[in-house]
Amino acid sequence: MKKIIFAAVLFSGFCLTAAAVHAQAERARGKSPKGQGRKTTQMDRTLLKKACKDDLNKFCKGIRSGLNKAKCLKKHDSKLASDCKKALKTLPAEPESGSVEQQAGAALQKACKDDISKFCEGVESDLKKGKCLKKNESILSPGCAKTLKSLPPPPQEDTPEKGSSGRQGVEAALQKTCKDDISKFCKGIEFGLKQGSCLMENESELSDGCAKTLKSLPPPDQEGVSGKGGAGDYLNSRK
């Protein structure tokens, strides 16, 4: 009887060890032990970039995000080169974007409730809230900043917005020096152009540092600024 029990225990231990080895092997190949689809790896992205170089330049030029590149190529599947088609088929199925955005939105709402009220009040969609928090990343609460860094970056537009870098530079400068003024005079106003207009309307009551930053920004008629999303457009958007 003791021999039978010992044999049963030994066999059970062997089965558990075999299952653990199998699960580890599956994870090494990028698959979960429960058979769920694996995630896209850097090797996948490199292979796609190499096999689809010409097709990316032809159909998806200007798209930066790897996920958006794959989506763009799939839209032109019938026109792709054979090597590119093969590489595209090897990619794992991506989760529905809606579910990913919902999960990210729920995580941000939980960890960043106070930060959203402070910096992004009035911003409606989860995607825009995420972008708003990202612009204020340096002044977020530790818990919110940590959650934000753990989430995948928001999807980029297929074509970069003309002049967006100029606005971003102005917004960053104002957020750095006008943090208290924004909380005092412009709380609840959507981050970006409207906040800039609000600060201008309260210019006489601003702190010295914030007022100095506003005055140091280039005028709207400066070459390379007007009409191209620079500081002039930002501060004169209310006109």
Q: In this structure, is residue 11 part of a structural domain?
A: no
The residue whose two tokens read 């092997």 is 25
Q: Which residue has the higher pLDDT, 6 or 183?
A: 183
pLDDT band per the 50, 70, 90 thresholds, residue 222: very low
Residue 19, domain member (yes or no): no
Amino acid 130: pLDDT: 85
Do 129 and 110 belong together in one domain?
A: yes
Mean pLDDT value across residues 37-56:
80
| 63-95 burial code (b ≥16 CB/10 A, e <16) | bebebebbbbbeeeeeebeeebbebbeebeeee
Tell me which of 121 and 64 has the higher pLDDT. Answer: 121
Q: Are residues 81 and 121 in the same domain?
A: no
Q: Does residue 28 fall inside a structural domain?
A: no
Residue 142 pLDDT > 90, yes or no? yes
Is 178 found in the same domain as 226? Answer: yes
88 and 129: one domain? no
Greater pLDDT, 126 or 25? 126
Together in a domain, 85 and 106: no
CA trace torsion 27, 32, 37, 42 (10° rounding): -30
Average pLDDT over residues 69-89: 88
Please give the Cα distance from 146 to 112 (Å, whole number): 10
Asked if residue 124 belongs to a domain, the reply is yes
Q: Residue for token digits 């960890």? A: 111
**Residue 131 placed within a domain:** yes
- What is the overall mean pLDDT for the chain? 70
**Domain range enclosing 61:** 41-94
Torsion of CA 215, 216, 217, 220, to 10 degrees: 60
| 90, part of any domain | yes
Q: What tokens appear for 20 in the block?
A: 């653990």
Q: Please state the rounded mean pLDDT for residues 145-150.
A: 88
Residues 154, 160, 162, 166, Cα dihedral to 10°: 50
Q: What percentage of the chain reaches a pLDDT higher than 90? A: 8
Q: Are residues 125 and 185 in the same domain?
A: no
pLDDT tens digits, 169-217: 666 777 778 888 888 888 777 666 777 778 888 888 889 888 888 777 6
Q: Give the pLDDT confidence score for residue 88 in this predicted structure.
A: 86
Distance CA(191)–CA(34), nearest Å, equals: 43
How many degrees, rounded to 5, is the angle at CA 122 between CA 203 and CA 174? Answer: 35
Q: Of 45-59, 146-160, 222-236, where does the model show the most confidence?
A: 45-59
More confident residue, 143 or 127: 143
Q: Is 221 in the same domain as 175?
A: yes
Using a pLDDT cut of 70, give the percent of the chain over it.
59
Q: How many separate domains does the chain show?
A: 3
* Residue 172 shares a structural domain with residue 231: yes
> Is the confidence at residue 220, as pLDDT, over 60?
no
User: Do 77 and 115 belong to one domain?
Assistant: no
Residue 231 belongs to a domain: yes
Predicted confidence at residue 55, as pLDDT, reads 92
Q: Note whether 101 and 88 are same-domain residues.
A: no
Average pLDDT rounded to a whole number, residues 103-117: 86
In a domain, 49, yes or no: yes
Among the candidates 127, 150, 173, a domain finishes at 150
